[in-house]
Amino acid sequence: MEPQKDCPALRSSSRCIDMMLALFPLFFCLFSSTSGATRSVSSRPAVVHVGAIFTFNSTIGRVAKVAIDAAKQDVNSDPTVLRGTRLDITMRNTNCSGFFGMMEALQFMETDTVAIVGPQCSTIAHVISHLANELHVPLLSFSATDPTLTALEYPYFVRTSQSDLFQMAAIAKIVDYYQWRQVIAIYVDDDNGRNGVAALGDQLAERRSMLSYKARLSPVATRSDVTDLLVKVALMESRVIVLHSNQDYGPMILSVAHYLDMMTNGYVWIATDWLSSLLDSKAPLAPDTMDTMQGVLTLRQHTADSKRKSNFISRWSNLTKEEDDGNFRLHSYGLYAYDTVWMLAKAIDAFFDDGGIISFSNDSKLHDVQGGTLHLEAMNVFNGGQLLLEKVQNTNFAGLTGVLRYDSDGHLIHPAYDIINVIGTGSRTIGYWSNYSGLSIVPPETLYSKPANASPANDLLYSVIWPGETTTKPRGWVFPNNGKELKIVVPNRVSYQEFVSKSPHTGIVKGYCIDVFTAAVNLLPYAVPFKLIPFGDGHANPSYGELVNMVATGVFDAAVGDIAIVTNRTKIVDFTQPYIESGLVILAPIRKYKSSAWAFLQPFTLEMWCVTGFFFMVIGSVVWILEHRMNDEFRGPPRQQVATVFWFSFSTLFFAHRENTVSTLGRGVLIIWLFVVLIIQSSYTASLTSILTVQQLSSPIKGIDSLIASDEHIGFQVGSFAENYMVEELSIPRSRLKALGSREEYEKALELGPDNGGVAAIVDERAYVELFLSTNCNFAIVGSEFTKSGWGFVFPRDSPLAVDMSTAILTLSENGDLQRIHDKWLTRAACISETDEIDSQRLHLSSFWGLFLICGTSCFLALLVYLILVLRQYIKHAPVDKHDSSSSQMPRSGFSLQKFFSFASGKEEDVRSRSKQGEMQKSTINATVDVET
């Protein structure tokens, strides 16, 4: 049974019970039901009761109180909103205490309260959300920003501002923009602090950054506790600090940091929006307070500029006149508090329009609770709570903060934040963040009309004045200030000690890799204390996989040496930029090629010889055809003409042909052919010279494919990744592999060969093989390099030192120091250049087919033109049949191949002479006939 409406919560329980017993029969008759007593009012009552719970004397609560009062007055003075119904808001002070917040909420539940504006603190929101779920009373909080409050566990909690999920996304974006990788979070260990920092960790992880340390403070921490915590933070590597606190602890934390010189060069402080609220509300702060936060970045919930917002800001001074402490200004949470009241008013109006009736029922579950004196049965269930909640969630209007509309996840659309830099006596906006456009110097609302684009390539912020009054971007990390050196492990090699080795007498580690590392460290803009620790027993090369694992597990801080960058290692550690290229190659024994008496035939392949000889004959024949009718040197008996063709064609090889060409077509063909002969002759000479003067080497193994196809043993270097690569990637049985530990073992195994207990070839990295070949010329690299990798220095995952060392290595490469170090340790009198190509480079037809095509085409065209010319002459000068010579009107005899070939084989001058005589005889006969007639 519900108590009377005006029964105060603090009234004695016996008096309330007496009143309920006296009125019980009346209520039972009027409103009884199976689920408990129900009371209802008209569809649009005169007054709608709403509660508000927050902390009155806090930075947020002081502003919210005035904003809520102003919103209530504006709603009640606007006849178009509730249309005759007055909104009554009762505000209660929680002092940000979970206990008091729950008690105040319980008191609201004993009255006809349809909704509660608040609570202010996320801790109270978690507590009373369960109560709201049970009694169906929506909670509209403008300042409880804990990301977990939007969980399905709290259906009646509605956040009317932005979730910290987006604030942490903005901070992670800033961290990524400045390319920092490790962040320290300092937070108050309550619901809001823990869950906000958890969201920050998730957002950083998406951008491959991380929370290196979570520094938590008790909600009742003292200045001494803060000092102890910040001393620990100062000893750590990261210098990027995110301060997720509140207006009570935040200034004290910054003050202690300033006292400990943690607000100087190299530090980055990013405060969540508690700082912007403090600055907006109380600025200007005392000079001593401002000095403790110079260079800090903070965020503010972005609210779009509008005429309505400007009008409300201009009213603010009048609204705060009646307050005891009127020296506070409006901030974003005040704007959201004002819009929250309007959101609720519009939702209630829509609730009434949809036929909603304000009615309350007793909860039968609370009646079942036995014992105690809490009188939980006095709690009322709002029967229309679900409908009112739906109307709130369907909100869509323009308020002081911008457009208020919810997405499917229960968040206000277009979350955005101003990014503020605290400098001097105030602050400066350096840009904006939104999930629609990323980081920008343009207000987000101007970009909503354009396609969404949050690409990192478009991120842009104005310059920042960092702690220490510098505009240079802090590196974001330093070596831990605890006096420890970096423990750097190096392989204690037995073979190829030019790369890295430990002196057996002095214990000093030296080598090519050590010199490169030292040179790179010297280029860093800061000191790097380190100690080189050899790894290995000194009798065999150590396992490089084990060495990398020790860096990944934190046994060592880094690894320096001839460590190959391979896929399975990059999954657990970070490598620097490669400082030397070194893929896998095949080392095999070679035999010298012995020249023979027929070496002069080797420059050309068989196909090349055949085609070249064929073209000699073709050219001789074509030139003979083109010259035969007009050049006496190409005429004579058949035997002489055949000899002339052979002599002329092959003499062009030495440019010694004696026969002159008189026809234009013959000269054109000959010029092209002589050019072809010049190219062929020069190429032949160069190739033969190379064969006879350069030492040719050969090996039965031609490459990795032929090595895999054989069944012979293969050698590899102890400790190298080549063993696992051949087994796992090339599927070579491990039984075929043989471990070798020194150059001497390399040479002996290759000389013995697979039939005598040795190996057919050795698979190793190019850097080792080239160093081996510098003193062993009986072996060579065969085939091509079949993996592409390099050597780099090893650091733990996400180590910022790896990035700086990579930059230093690139600098060494650009200024030539890397090559000079290479020449110092690895340059030897080598015979590698003589063994790069095993097979002699013979000349193939494919290299000359273009020349032959040009030559053949010219011959074909010349013959075609010649044939056309001869046909024309034949038609014009062909002999007339003697039996028909008496008549000038009789046609010539028909075409005959025999006559045509006879005509073509004749000398051109004789044909023309006979043709003229025939014409003269014909003229004489025609004249005689005319006289007789």
CB proximity list for 909: less than 8 A, separation 6 or greater: 630
Residue 537 near residue 504 (C-beta atoms within 8 A): no
Low-confidence ranges of the chain (pLDDT < 70): 1-42, 324-326, 364-378, 480-483, 591-602, 628-636, 640, 649-650, 653-660, 662, 690-699, 828-848, 873-933
For position 778, what pLDDT does the model report?
82
Tokens of 912: 């023309």
For position 105, what pLDDT does the model report?
77
Tokens of 441: 């110097």
Helix (H) or strand (E) holding 359: strand 359-362
Distance CA 187, CA 182 (A): 16
One-letter amino acid of 533: I
Backbone angles phi, psi at 24, to 5 degrees: -55, -45
Burial class (CB in 10 A: 0-12, 13-18, 19+), 649: buried
For position 457, what pLDDT does the model report?
87
pLDDT digits (tens, 9 = 90+) for 223-245: 999 999 999 999 898 999 999 99
Question: Nearest to residue 602, comparing CAs of 699, 677, 694?
Answer: 694
Architecture per CATH, domain 164-303+415-458, reads as: 3-Layer(aba) Sandwich (3.40)
Architecture per CATH, domain 583-593+695-788, reads as: 3-Layer(aba) Sandwich (3.40)
The answer to whether the pTM exceeds 0.85 is no
For position 523, what pLDDT does the model report?
92
Q: Is the CATH number of domain 47-161+306-404 3.40.50.2300?
A: yes
> Where do the domains of the chain lie?
47-161+306-404, 164-303+415-458, 485-580+791-829, 583-593+695-788, 599-676
Concatenated DSSP letters for 596-662? -TTGGGTTB-HHHHHHHHHHHHHHHHHHHHHHTTT-GGG-SSHHHHHHHHHHHHHHGGGT-------
For position 19, what pLDDT does the model report?
34
Distance CA 712, CA 730 (A): 15
485-580+791-829: CATH topology is D-Maltodextrin-Binding Protein; domain 2 (3.40.190)
Distance CA 358, CA 618 (A): 111
47-161+306-404 shares its CATH topology with 583-593+695-788? no
Question: Nearest to residue 115, comparing CAs of 294, 410, 376, 348?
Answer: 348
Length of the chain: 933
pLDDT digits (tens, 9 = 90+) for 146-185: 999 988 999 999 999 999 999 999 999 999 999 998 999 9
**Gyration radius from the chain CA atoms:** 49
321, HSE (Cβ side, Cα atoms, 13 Å): 4
Which residue shows structure tokens 């990027």?
Answer: 240
